Amino acid sequence: MLNDALRLSDSNRIDSLIKIGIATVLLCILSPLNIDIGMEVPLTLQSLLVVFFSVLFGWLNGSVPVLVYLLLGGFGAPVFADYNSGWDLFLGSSGGFLIGFLIAANIVGFLAEMNIMMKNLFALVLLALGQFILLVVGLYWLQGVTNEEFSWGVQLQAFMPGLAMKTAFGGIVFIGLHRTAKRLANQS
């Protein structure tokens, strides 16, 4: 967790509000984008971003943006994948993934706060764990909503390449921010 290392204000409350605002805006702007790289499952940044901010800022500053993002999408802002929105998505086949966003963000944020001296490898593990948690919640929900039996192995295999790419990308960004924070601390 780099919450203390990446200070944006001397006031803790203002610092938290700025981080929550930045994370919410980035979630809303980047999450609807669908990146087609020829995989079976389209690549979106939603699952990475919802856990990335919790790894970066901890439980509260990472989970509140996810909650705001979900509320905005529920009330009609086109912030979900493919610029979708609405409460009906929470009841349909993607509902488990949306609910999983908040579950994963909370768990990962809690674990990140337990490890104050965040090492880059631990951050990668948390990024992968968070995406895996929401994937399991989403697939479990999907199976319940469709009432169809499917092979968990096949489903996980379809999602794993994207999960691995997003985890690697998130890790690179985290390492870059970690190094920047260290450099700024050494200059102070």
Give the contacts of 47 (CB within 8 A, at least 6 positions apart).
97, 101, 104, 130, 131, 134, 135, 163, 166
Would you give the DSSP letter of residue 2? -
5 occurs within a structural domain: no
- Helix (H), strand (E) at residue 181: helix 152-187
Report yes or no: 96 and 142 within 8 Å, Cβ to Cβ.
yes
* Model confidence pLDDT, tens digit, residues 124-177: 999 999 999 999 999 899 888 888 777 888 888 888 888 898 999 999 999 999
81 occurs within a structural domain: yes
- Check residues 41 and 60 and name the one with the higher pLDDT: 60
78 occurs within a structural domain: yes
Confidence of residue 66 (pLDDT cuts 50, 70, 90): very high
69 is in which domain, residue-wise? 12-187
89 occurs within a structural domain: yes
Percent of the chain at pLDDT exceeding 90: 57
34 occurs within a structural domain: yes
61 occurs within a structural domain: yes
- How many domains, in total, are found in the chain? 1
2 occurs within a structural domain: no
Residue 86 has pLDDT above 70, yes or no: yes
- Which among 58, 171, 44, 164 is positioned nearest to 105, based on CA atoms? 58
Q: What is the DSSP string of 44-111?
A: ESHHHHHHHHHHHH-HHHHHHHHHHHHHHHHTT-S-SGGG---THHHHSTTHHHHHHHHHHHHHHHHH
What is the length of the chain?
A: 188
> Residue 100: which CATH number?
1.10.1760.20
4 occurs within a structural domain: no
Residue 60 has pLDDT above 80, yes or no: yes
Token reading at 93: 């086949």
- Helix (H), strand (E) at residue 43: strand 43-44
* Average pLDDT, rounded, for the chain: 89
Report yes or no: 118 and 178 within 8 Å, Cβ to Cβ.
yes
Rounded to the nearest 5°, which phi and psi values hold at 44? -125, 160
